[in-house]
A and B are shown apart, each in its own frame.
Chain A
Amino acid sequence: MTASSSRLVAYSSSLKLTLLLFLFLGISVVLWHFTEHKLKDWLITIPLLFLAFNLITSMLTNKIFRIHGWLLLFHVGLLLLLLLIGISQVTKLIGSVEVTNGTVYDQSSAQWQQGIFHRNRLDRLQFKLEKFNINYASSHGEVVRLDTQAYITWVDEEGKVKKGVVGDRVPLKIYGYKLYTTHNKGFAPMFKWYPNQGGAVEGSVHLPAWPEHELNQANDLQIPNTPYKLWLTLKFFDPILSSTGPSIFRIPDDPLLIVRVDEKRYELQPGDFIDFPTGRLEYLGLNTWMGFQVFYDWSLPWMLGASLLALFGLAGHFWKKFAPTPWQNSLEEEEKNRWNKNN
């Protein structure tokens, strides 16, 4: 090895560098919170990559890892964990999907972010949200969300139809994806479009999540294959959730749907319709929707394994490090040193 390359190895395996990188990581994690930049995850990825590199070179060159097996095991576990975090970043998928009550999942309502090596199978999912319940209670005049149940029918990987209830901590599992119910839900006016030519189609508009966007219950509806765009909003005075007792999320008793098309304003009740030059739009009534979180990450059990392995190594290391110098030994040693000094 040349002098300059051995110096490079010495620098990159240095423990002082490790300390700097720890500091770098800590600062990065804090900075991460103060930026909305789309590349912000690199703030955390870069120090982790450097730490992994630092750790690898150190494990290859630092003799201490050959002497202390437990310490080696611990750092190998850490390295595995770093590696798995990297693999997870490129293979995982996190997304969300909104499903109208009583209808089947439609991939076009899904949004997701996936790693570059993720094999996307969201188009294969087949499930129907039969109905859902969200219970609320009151606590000191405030409404608190309790449990959620979503009644689902789905087709599993073998093509069998299954029924079940999912909700808090129990996700729907299909094709390796886990779909969790969330607190995201809202109202969904349902419509049917009868074009002058061709068959009728049904659809719904998901109004913004409720109760977070209680004061902004408005959205647009683009009628498929037409230039017609409607703006609609929902008004009701019926308190859905109670601040004095138990309540559930439900459709209000007397909702009023206000629709604007260009300059015209309509107030619709179920069964009302609006005529357009090329068809008729019927308002079927008010429904609800629920948001699901979609999650895929096969590396999770391995990450758990790696972290437990690391911890096992760490516990072993400390056990060994502390056992041979019990309290009493150092006492005696100190006595001996004092005695030696005095003589």
Chain B
Amino acid sequence: MEQEQLSLWLAVVAYVLAGMLAIFGVVFAKKYEKSILFFMCTGLALHAVAIALRWIRLEHGPYLTMFEILSSNLFTLMLFFIIFYWRYKPVRPSAAVVLPVLFIMMAWMMFVPHDAGMIPASFDTIWLWIHIGFGKVFMGAVLVAVGMGGIIVLRQCAWGERKFSNLPSNERLDDLAFRFMAVALIFDSLMLIAGALWAHDAWGRYWGWDPLETWAFITWLVLVIALHLRATVKLSYEQGAYLIFAVFALGFLTFYGIPFISDAPHQGTFG
């Protein structure tokens, strides 16, 4: 238990260090890229240890309580971002936008109760992994797009324009961002399909418009609207960026907010 808490805290410290370096790097026009990558990877490794220790202690994966959901999502979002950071060198400064977004999740994670939960019978299925897995890829892809969008928006002011001047043009950032949004749509759709199959399996209905399903659908719809708008109306890059933020905010609230205000991951689970 103590080791678990310790490695989680150290992981958060490493993530925060990576985030601070990313911000300093932009503000002071310095290249800390290797150190940022190092701290992100160290954080990820420590985080993996914390998750594994808890998994062994409680004998179930991190998907029951709010704390576990936040922790495992933070882990996968970090993992996606590290892969992106490693592969897409020209847009690495987007870490200065993405990591602070993840700080919100970290703070939230540290403040919710860390107690163990109970596994409902409907969780004993492969659909759990498929459904959650697709959801994580979806959020990871949108997060990367948020990074691009953040730079586009910051560039609207002279300071941002100067600080991000050596990055690719807004046109190319927008293009890259919407590629990730396309990936997000595919995985969001897969998540909804897998969720419906699971719900059918567990409760004898595939879609019941419970609060979580409703918000998941609205997130999907806003993502579709964003892609349709971009394909049919000439959006400005800034407008495109705000649409990305809207999808991320909705996805974020659906994943973490709705289970928080309604009493269970899905209403049909307990009773």
Contact = CB atoms under 8 A, between A and B. Distances in A.
Interface residues of A, number: 49
Interface of A: 15-16, 18-19, 22-23, 25-26, 29-30, 32-33, 94, 137, 139-140, 144-148, 167-169, 171, 178, 180, 182-184, 212, 293, 295, 300, 304, 307-308, 310-311, 314-315, 318, 321-322, 325, 327, 330-331, 334
Interface string B226-247: 0011001100000000000000
B214 A33 contact: yes
Given A29-B218, A32-B209, A311-B189, A22 B121 contact: no
Given A15-B232, A169-B201, A183-B271, A22 B221 contact: yes
Contacts of B182: 318, 321-322
Contacts of B214: 29-30, 33
Given A146-B121, A307-B193, A331-B168, 13 more contacts: A15-B228, A15-B232, A18-B228, A19-B228, A26-B218, A94-B205, A137-B118, A146-B118, A169-B125, A314-B185, A318-B179, A322-B182, A334-B169
Contacts of A168: 121-122, 124, 202
B190 interface: yes
Chain A CB count within 10 A is highest, among B121, B124, B209, B211, for B121
Interface string B162-199: 00000011011001100100110110011001000100
Contacts of B169: 334
Contacts of A15: 228, 232
Contact of B190 (A33, A311, A321): A311
Given A145-B120, A169-B201, A311 B186 contact: yes
A19 B229 contact: yes
A87 B200 CA distance: 18
A182 B121 CA distance: 12
Given A308-B193, A315-B186, A322-B179, A26 B271 contact: no
B206 interface: yes
A335 B214 CA distance: 46
Contact of A171 (B121, B176, B204, B271): B204
B225 interface: yes
A325 B204 CA distance: 45
Nearest to A314: B186
A249 to B, nearest CB: 12
B9 interface: no
Contacts of B189: 307, 310-311, 314
Contacts of B204: 171, 178, 180, 293, 295
A26 B221 contact: yes
B179 A212 contact: no
Contacts of A293: 203-205
Interface in B111-134: 115-118, 120-122, 124-125
B175 A22 contact: no
A70 B176 CA distance: 21
B94 to A, nearest CB: 15
Contacts of B183: 318
Chain A CB count within 10 A is highest, among B122, B125, B232, for B232
Contacts of A19: 225, 228-229, 232-233
Contact of A145 (B211, B217, B271): B271
B72 to A, nearest CB: 20
B134 to A, nearest CB: 11
Contacts of B28: none
A304 B201 CA distance: 14
A206 B29 CA distance: 74
A307 B189 CA distance: 9
Contacts of B69: none
Contacts of A137: 118
Nearest to B179: A322
A304 B193 contact: yes
A308 B201 CA distance: 18
A327 to B, nearest CB: 7
Given A212-B271, A318-B182, A322-B179, A22 B224 contact: yes
Chain A CB count within 10 A is highest, among B117, B124, B193, for B193
Nearest to A26: B221
A208 to B, nearest CB: 14
Contacts of A327: 172, 176
B222 interface: yes
B118 A144 contact: yes
B21 to A, nearest CB: 26
Contacts of B232: 15-16, 18-19
Contacts of A32: 209
Contacts of B122: 168-169
Contacts of B193: 304, 307-308, 311
A293 B208 CA distance: 13
Contacts of B190: 311
Contacts of A308: 193
A145 B118 CA distance: 9
A327 B89 CA distance: 12
What are the 6 closest A-B residue pairs judged by CB atoms, nearest first?
A: A183-B271, A180-B204, A168-B121, A144-B118, A139-B118, A147-B121
A77 to B, nearest CB: 11
A146 B228 CA distance: 44
A16 B175 CA distance: 22
B118 A29 contact: no
Contact of A295 (B125, B172, B205): B205
A26 B200 contact: no
A327 B121 CA distance: 47
